[in-house]
Amino acid sequence: MRFVVVPELPRRPIVLAPAVADPAVVHRLIDARAPYWPVQRYFANGAEYAALSGKSAADMIVAPVFRGSWAADGVVSDGVEPLLRHPAFIDPLRDPEFIRLLQQQYVRYPTGS
């Protein structure tokens, strides 16, 4: 007989320390960089989704996404640089244990070794 341990749900939230002193700065950047298009934007409408996917148009989910290029190909959008260099985001990347955890648990990418 095989037993499966099921975690207690819902899980309790993990409270994180604030990453930036003034969250309004991030909100202003979000607003300034809008709109953020959903990944599914390449479907013109539900009928096109149904025709291309073979599923009902009612099944089409347009998930809320936060997907925008604040920095790409060496070009950084105005006002974004302080976030890219913010110690709360950079300092953990200097910790080999943190990198090891990312590689093993969350992000699987080639390390070159």
Q: What is the pLDDT of residues 41-76, one digit of tens each?
A: 667 777 887 888 888 877 776 665 555 678 877 888
Is 3 among the domain residues? no
Q: 49 and 80, same structural domain?
A: no
Is 4 among the domain residues? no
Q: 52 and 30, same structural domain?
A: yes
- The pLDDT value recorded for residue 107 is 47
> Which of 31-40, 83-92, 98-107 is least confident?
98-107
DSSP, collapsed to helix, strand or coil, labels residue 72 as strand
Q: Domain containing 37: what range? A: 22-68
Is 39 among the domain residues? yes
Q: 59 and 84, same structural domain?
A: no
What share of residues in the chain are helix, strand, coil (percent, to 5)?
Answer: 45, 5, 55
Q: 86 and 59, same structural domain?
A: no
Domains contained in the chain, number: 2
Name which residue leads in pLDDT, 62 or 21.
Answer: 21
Tokens in use for 10? Answer: 């819902």
Tell me how far apart the alpha carbons of residues 65 and 39 are, in angstroms, rounded to a whole number.
8
What is the pTM assigned to this prediction?
0.48
Is 41 among the domain residues? yes
DSSP, collapsed to helix, strand or coil, labels residue 75 as strand
DSSP, collapsed to helix, strand or coil, labels residue 86 as coil
Is 6 among the domain residues? no
Tell me how far apart the alpha carbons of residues 23 and 20 are, in angstroms, rounded to a whole number.
6
